[in-house]
Amino acid sequence: MWIARKLATPLAALLLSLGLGQGTAFADAYEAKLPDDLATAADLCTRVPCAEVFPGATSFSERKGQPPYVDAYGEADPQAPGKKKLLGYVMLSTDITDTPAYSGKPVITLIGMDTQGRYVGVKVLKHSEPILLLGIPEKALIDFNNQYLGKSVKDTIEVGPARPDENILGVDAISGATVTVIAQNQVMQLSGSAVARQVGIIEPTVREPARFAVSGQRYNWQQLQDMGAVVRLRVQPEQVGLDRGPEPFIELWFGDLNHPDIGRSLIGDRGYNNLHERLHPGDAAFFVIRTAGQESFKGSGFVRGGIYDRVQVKQGADSFTFRDLDYLNLYGLEAAGAPSPTESGIFIIRKGSFSAAYPWKLSFLGNRVDRATGHRSFANFEAKYWLADDLLEGGRPVVKEPDAPWVRVWKTRALEISLFVALLVAVTVVYAVREKLTRLSTHKNKWPVNGFKYTAWALSIVFVGFGVMAQPSITQVLTWFHSLLFQWTWSLFLSDPFIFVFWIFIIVTVFLFGRGLFCGWMCPFGSLQEALYKVARAVGLGHFQFKLPQVWHDRLKWVKYAVFFGLLAVSMFSMTLAEVLAEVEPFKTTFLVGVMNRAWPYGLFVAAILGLSLFIERPYCKYICPLGAALAMPSTFRWFGLKRKQDCNSCKACAVGCGAQAIDTDGRIDHRECLHCLDCMVLYTDTSGCPPLARERKRRERDGLLITPIGKDGYYIPIDAVPAISAKAAKGPDPRLPTEPAVPSYAKGQRGLRWLLAEAQDHLWPWSVAGWRSQRALQIAGFSLALAASVAWALAATGRLSSGAIIAWWFGWSVYEVLIRMSGKRYVKDGVWWQQRYRVANWMDMLSYVGFKNLLIGAALFLALKALGVLA
């Protein structure tokens, strides 16, 4: 780990230095150091430059209100001698909302608004968006924010084109940073409206008061849980940047005390009557209890004007905070089975805009500590509450919730998404019928295949790459890996619909056919390389085109795997650093940002790769691409491969013509390297181009025999006893399997359920009798390691071990399992899992099998522990 950190630092520095050509602005706000007490200091404007977002203001008040804001004052008010004129308000976005952007962290923004509700200034103080670090210049975010100046908090503003007929104002997005700007739009509107409501710029929302359906029934605690009348809000230590522990940071239960049946069930008849005698018309009450954790939900508000600064209630766009006069002691709950609280209280909402009939949220407010920097930031943990339909007369009112940002993206780009989906479906269907197309083709006329393939290349470059900018990246693989293990957030992946849909296509086709359909047909950058290679040949540069000697190709193809595993390892320590190092991919420069918008080293890197592509077919795909390496590993277990015949082990025609150099001297195809150009499939049934078929055709023509069709095995349907397979080929290896066939001992004579159980045991138990005989010390060491790994999982289940430590155990165990299986269970399955086709495993086969299997098992265990509530 220490070595990885030492190596990663200079690499990051090198890549950061390359970005200097874009100007120095990019470093101003990215992970900027902010004052430690920014979230709590009363005098906000001594910590941040409020004057920059409110031109003309000469002084500022201390924080006031809930959520907090600052008054901005000008010179003395002539209408009120001795007083300064109120010009407007300044707010810090994270005092109001912690809406996450693409990085999963909020963009901390300072906003100025005048007394009429018009935005007068916006400044980003800190962001964690990697796309704005080494991709899109930070000035693009500044320009985006400047679009709000002069617009009103009362306006409905959306990212995208304006719709005057719907009274919607549009702001231009940043190409390639859709998620970031949608989140920023939400931050601007939520922050502005929250303050505008407090100061009277926006009228409070009027909601119909609740009309309760009263039955007189009393409920126990479990029944109240089942009907949603009491709700739990649980915050884990790691969610606020503390070490994982067996206890939550805080566990709260809360619920309504306004409905007679619910209130009387919770605090009894006497308690309910006493409470409602103290309420004024329009007031509403709810209870909160703490059942675990040492943190208080009452907070430190008693020393700051009697404000309870840890809890808020939100209903729609309204926020309700509480002072000491809004709090009553709660001495216990009377519902049978209710937990014993360690802290309890009743809060009263004294504003008429609240209605218990409508949904509301309890927010627990706190600070999150960044463990890497020690910086504290605003954190908001919420749980939703809504009385059941049968508890309200006439049922729940109709509530139109605003669409989530990702929903708005899908709606506004519905046509493009539909076209993109249609393209992916069409490519999949065309490839699924590839055998019919290759039978119509010959080595001299490949247009039945190439017509579709070249069209796919053109569309992937123009429409997918430059049009909708849906070039997949290794960073998405790393994000998926981390999200699966730590915190899965659907909205993060759904926020870019093209990438989301593309990854569904990639995952499905990788397991069906291998990585070649995506890498060879639909990858925009791969298609661009291939197109340049073809154009260069067409204009007369074919004499200068060449392949690397096979011995060098076989060495250099491993570089992409080293790059992938290096990025994966670095991401364990710092996802941000991994994003920086992922600049080894030229995709962002080519499609997302543009060569002209980046520093010259990035453009030079792209130019070098594309220039080399004129002479070597797809050099980046074959030797560097970490995304290709990530997809190659599961390609080991693709269900359907390309066809081979026995004579392929002695015929070199396909190998000579293979641009990916994925066919070895025995005629075997390495599906991890194959890019599915289908040239070998064309030769497979070409009676003139395939040497074995050409020999058989000439023999039949000479002897006057019938020329029968080509069978599925790649030979003429036989008409005599003459063997179709040559004697030399019959003695050679079977090229239809990547390696020699194997038969595991557990699979001999097993069928049905017994075979399934035996196979499950084989996946989970790596030791074997053969391995014990050959590598006894290794086998014994493995039992110790397995025991240690089991203890690690047990510690994780009790909250005593971090996710990072578990991953380290997973990695160590996987390395050991590769070694132990290679010594005693050296086989993997080929093709669809139910066909029982096994073959001898090479090191890459076993690494792919063990790594992928253990990733699935580890993810399943993580998800199971999370479902049980022992992991956050």
pLDDT band (50, 70, 90) for residue 851: confident
- Look over the chain and give the mean of its residue pLDDT values, rounded to a whole number: 84
Is 227 or 872 the better-scoring residue by pLDDT?
Answer: 227
pLDDT band (50, 70, 90) for residue 6: very low
Q: Is the dihedral of CA 810, 811, 816, 817 positive or negative?
A: positive
Cα(464)–Cα(457) distance, rounded to whole angstroms?
A: 10
Instruction: Provide the token pair at 690.
Output: 């395939």
298 pLDDT more than 50:
yes
pLDDT in the model for residue 1: 35
pLDDT in the model for residue 758: 85
- Count Cβ atoms within 10 A of the Cβ of residue 305 and give its class: 0-12 exposed, 13-18 middle, 19 or more buried: exposed
pLDDT in the model for residue 642: 92
Q: Count of CB atoms within 10 A of residue 333's CB?
A: 24
Residue 166 in 3-state DSSP? helix
pLDDT band (50, 70, 90) for residue 302: very low
Q: For the segment 167-223, what is each residue's pLDDT rounded down to a tens digit?
A: 888 888 776 666 788 788 888 988 999 899 889 898 878 889 999 999 999 999 999
Mean predicted confidence (pLDDT) in 818-836: 84
Mean predicted confidence (pLDDT) in 438-450: 94
Mean predicted confidence (pLDDT) in 423-444: 95
* Inter-residue contact 621 to 519 (CB < 8 Å): yes
pLDDT band (50, 70, 90) for residue 10: very low
Cα(575)–Cα(18) distance, rounded to whole angstroms?
A: 19
pLDDT band (50, 70, 90) for residue 802: low
Lowest mean pLDDT segment, chosen from 392-406, 450-464, 605-619: 392-406
Mean predicted confidence (pLDDT) in 560-581: 84
Using the structure block, give the residue that is written with the tokens 């990733």: 855
Q: For the segment 17-38, what is each residue's pLDDT rounded down to a tens digit?
A: 444 344 333 347 777 888 888 8
Using the structure block, give the residue that is written with the tokens 């409020």: 50
3-state secondary structure labels for all residues of 511-542: HHHCCHHHHHHHCHHHHHHHHHHHHHHHHHHH
Residue 724 in 3-state DSSP? coil
pLDDT in the model for residue 484: 65
Nearest in space to 558 (alpha carbons), one of 851, 847, 823, 853? 847
Cα(321)–Cα(349) distance, rounded to whole angstroms?
A: 8
Give the Cα-Cα-Cα angle 56, 59, 60 (nearest 5 degrees): 110
pLDDT band (50, 70, 90) for residue 101: confident
13 pLDDT more than 50:
no
5 pLDDT more than 50:
no
**Strands 318-323, 307-315: pairing kind:** antiparallel
372 pLDDT more than 60:
no
Lowest mean pLDDT segment, chosen from 150-154, 323-327, 638-642, 681-685: 323-327
pLDDT in the model for residue 779: 57
493 pLDDT more than 90:
no
pLDDT in the model for residue 532: 96
> Strand pairing partners for 361?
314, 384
Cα(83)–Cα(74) distance, rounded to whole angstroms?
A: 10
Pick the most confident of 465-479, 509-523, 729-743.
509-523
Mean predicted confidence (pLDDT) in 651-675: 92
Is 477 or 166 the better-scoring residue by pLDDT?
Answer: 477
Nearest in space to 588 (alpha carbons), one of 644, 617, 627? 627
Mean predicted confidence (pLDDT) in 635-652: 90
Report the Cα 572 to chain-centroid distance in Å: 15
Q: For the segment 575-633, what is each residue's pLDDT rounded down to a tens digit?
A: 778 878 888 999 988 988 788 877 888 899 999 999 999 999 999 999 999 999 999 99
Instruction: Provide the token pair at 13.
Output: 């520095």
> Half-sphere exposure of 658 toward its Cβ, with a 13 Å CA cutoff?
25
Complete DSSP assignment for 653-715: HHHHH-TT--B-TTS-B-TTT-----HHHHHHT-TTTSHHHHHHHHHHHHHT---PPB-TTSS
pLDDT band (50, 70, 90) for residue 798: low
pLDDT band (50, 70, 90) for residue 132: low
DSSP class of residue 388?
-
Q: What is the pTM of this model?
A: 0.77
Is 261 or 35 the better-scoring residue by pLDDT?
Answer: 261
Cα(117)–Cα(113) distance, rounded to whole angstroms?
A: 6
